[in-house]
Amino acid sequence: MSTRIAFLKGHGTENDFVIVPDPENAIDLPPAAVAALCDRRAGIGGDGLLHVVRSAAHPEAKEMAAEAEWFMDYRNGDGSIAEMCGNGVRVFARYLQRAGQVTEGDIAVATRGGVKRVHIAKEGDITVGMGKALLPEGAITVSVGERSWPARNVNMGNPHAVAFVDDLGHAGDLFAPPLFSPASAYPDGVNVEFVVDRGPRHIALRVHERGAGETRSCGTGACAVAVAAARRDGADPAVTRTPATYTVDVPGGRLVITERPDGEIEMTGPAVIVAEGEIDAEWLKTVNP
């Protein structure tokens, strides 16, 4: 392996990522190396890492290679693996565009949550087909300190608990993960969203992400809260045959989410590459001996 490894840094509504292009899947990135790269003091810093690999070169993506040339091997900032990242997939597409691997228009990206269709507009935002939400039945409770709320279980490929609150400040500092019950609802942990109304079909959230802590945005989380809000508001596009669009304000910006009558969810938002550089492979070896 060369002594320098290329990286880029990007964000989508301030959900920020270290991007490691590795078309042939030649770079060893165990959890400790990912956590070190995402460390905001001793590393580059990021909520997560986007390992950019050709689908054909990755054992988890080979079967998607005919449909999608590139695989988003997404990792959380603590090194754990997640099924899907909505902001990440937009940033991933922006990277491919900047690298000349794709042009504007429609592309497909393989993820652990399946192949996602991405539209890169000529200027500005990127739209992702996020698939359908699953809404498992069962009462969920989310707690922070002395406060508890009923929550909606929404699966966007990854798990979410959505709690409507009176005030986003009631979620406290979110330094520790919110508690949830029953534990059996989320055997692999959960992303927790706290939501308030801002106006008709306009909501705002704070999120505590599994594997990252409180972040400035979560794309799958924004989709989960839009679906939970729609059901609460009596808007089920499958029943009304009318798309439901929600504007979701996150601490780092704004996402627009539309659920169509067939259940497919589209998310539109920005994706920005802010820097590129080189990782010292010798340093990486010290955190990944």
Ligand X SMILES: N[C@@H](CCC[C@H](N)C(=O)O)C(=O)O
Spell out the residues 6+ positions from residue 273 whose beta carbon is closer than 8 angstroms to its own. Answer: 8, 9, 10, 19, 91, 94, 95, 98
Q: Report how far apart, in Å, the C-alpha atoms of 243 and of each of 220, 227, 236, 265, 269 are.
A: 18, 11, 8, 9, 18
Of these, 69, 209, 259, 266, which contacts ligand X (CB under 6 A)?
209
For residue 223, indicate whether it is catalytic: no
Of these, 25, 55, 87, 245, which contacts ligand X (CB under 6 A)?
87
Residue-level length of the chain:
289
For residue 85, indicate whether it is catalytic: yes
Count of residues touching ligand X (by CB under 6 A): 17
Binding mask 15-44 for ligand X (x = CB under 6 A): x-----------------------------
The yes or no reply on residue 218 touching ligand X (CB under 6 A) is: yes
The yes or no reply on residue 85 touching ligand X (CB under 6 A) is: yes
**Residue bearing tokens 């989410």:** 257
The whole-angstrom separation of Cα 54 and Cα 64 is 10
Pick out residues in 45-84 that bind ligand X (CB under 6 A): 48, 76, 82
Min separation Cβ 210 and ligand X, Å: 4
Q: Are 79 and 32 in contact (CB under 8 A)?
A: yes
The whole-angstrom separation of Cα 67 and Cα 108 is 7
- Which H or E run contains 61? none
The yes or no reply on residue 97 touching ligand X (CB under 6 A) is: no
Contact residues: ligand X, CB under 6 A: 15, 48, 76, 82, 85-88, 158, 191, 209-212, 218-220
Q: Which residues are catalytic?
A: 85, 218
